[in-house]
Amino acid sequence: MVAAPAAVTASLTAGIVHAGPTTVGGAAAGVLAAGVGWYRGHPDSWDAVVAPQARALRRRWLSRTYLGPWWRRITEACGLVTVHRVTEVINVPRIIRIRSHSPCTETVYVRLLLGQTPKQWQEAAEALAVALRAERIGVERVGPQVIALIVQRSEPFDQVIVPPDLPADADATSLRQVYLGETEYGTDWHAPLIGQHWLVSGATGSGKNSVTWMALRACAPLIRDGLVRLHVVNPKGTELNALTPVAYRYAETDGDIVDVLSGFWEIMQDRKKVLAEQGRRTFDMSHETPLDLLLVDELGAVTGYGDRSLTRGAQAVLPLILSQARALGGTVIGALQEPTKDVIPQRDLFSLRVCMRSTSSGHPDMVLGENMRLRGALADEIPNEESSAGIGFVVNQRSRTPMRVRAAYCDDTDVADLVHVAGWPHTELATTG
């Protein structure tokens, strides 16, 4: 653990011996001047290239937390060491390296001891967070005998994320990578819209519809050009009612909601016939076969605790839509507050799931998958404050580890701009029901 400081000291000593202190001092001053010039002249590239390395170096070697005696003390206190049964020598997990992608979060790569499993570290995550004075710790399996500890020191999202400008042309956007906001690593949060169904869960005021609005911003020029059709189910009659002028079909009442869902399924059945006739197995978005996007706000009111006739009608077609529509050019975005099985029995049919601030510690596992809260998805601990709206967790599809994210916020002006750009060219076709 002292290899890096020792190497630096040895290099400086060797340089002074061979070149003299004046030469070494001049070179060091030149490097410092170049660094200052880089920082002041190109701060963005500095933050991307140099700052993460500098933070990682500081946290690894200048902060006592990860130095030998302190790291040993922490792992011992959390029960993450092993003791040789004969010699009674205490074996301590070794830190391989540290990465610091943002000022608020660091990733500590640890080599496990023989006999240890990632699950042991997941179960000790809460104790580790206390010992490391961190807000949250997630545990990710990186490879054989190697894990990564995602250590969140403070809230990475202390400011509202402003959405990017609306794309003006259909060619300027890709629905295979839709920008939604930022991740806790300081990178952009993207998600595919084509061939996916999204489920967004969160308590009142958690910012669920921020995800929906960001998806629609990417679709705006495609809606205008007839490449995307919106089917909007809006039981509350608020928020999504701004989409009435650009919706292909729109519904608020129980009967109309069932009609929209049934009509969506009929379109999917017709699409299946078209693809079969053309000998195609996959969907390609075009004017003849547009992407049909079904938005369901307050999904629980439709599937779980709504009127019995509404629930029966929705449950008759929604499982079919969720299980078959992805390959046929149909995408569903559903938002709800209570993700229990009796409210939304088909939650496992949603391929992308987002869990925002929740009122129950069981909700992260219900939405994201088994043991996701244990692995760091502490959605129930997100503060119930307006400044925390849009913050939640998604599962990293590569590592199957929960990742903290924040969706960009669209205000009324942003929504109005979206509707203006989408400007459905045949608004007389928009119907209620």
Q: Give dist(CA 362, CA 339) in Å, integer.
A: 10
Residue 209 marked in a binding site: yes
State how far the alpha carbon of 307 is from the alpha carbons of 87, 163, 294, in Å. 69, 37, 21
Give residue for tokens 């991740």. 183
CB 244 within 8 A of CB 430: yes
The tokens of 296 are what?
Answer: 């369901």
For residue 291, the SS3 value is: strand
Q: Identify which of 183, 182, 173, 151 has the alpha carbon closest to the alpha carbon of residue 60.
A: 151
CB 368 within 8 A of CB 396: no
Q: Identify which of 214, 222, 217, 213 has the alpha carbon closest to the alpha carbon of residue 180.
A: 214
Q: Give dist(CA 191, CA 384) in Å, integer.
A: 26
Q: Give dist(CA 9, CA 5) in Å, integer.
A: 6
CB 404 within 8 A of CB 363: no
CB atoms within 10 A of CB 278: 11
Q: What is the dihedral of CA 49, 55, 57, 60, to 10 degrees?
A: -140
Cα 280 to chain centroid, rounded: 32
The tokens of 167 are what?
Answer: 């794309």
Residue 203 marked in a binding site: yes
Helices (H), 176-253: 208-224
Q: Give dist(CA 50, CA 37) in Å, integer.
A: 13
Half-sphere exposure of 234 (CA within 13 A, CB side): 20
Residue 433 marked in a binding site: no
Q: Give dist(CA 301, CA 295) in Å, integer.
A: 14
Beta bridge partners of 330: 292
Q: Give dist(CA 93, CA 101) in Å, integer.
A: 23
The tokens of 150 are what?
Answer: 């995602």
Residue 35 marked in a binding site: no
Q: Give dist(CA 206, CA 389) in Å, integer.
A: 5
CB atoms within 10 A of CB 4: 11
Residue 207 marked in a binding site: yes
Which residues are part of a known binding site for ATP?
202-209
Binding-site sequence positions: 202-209
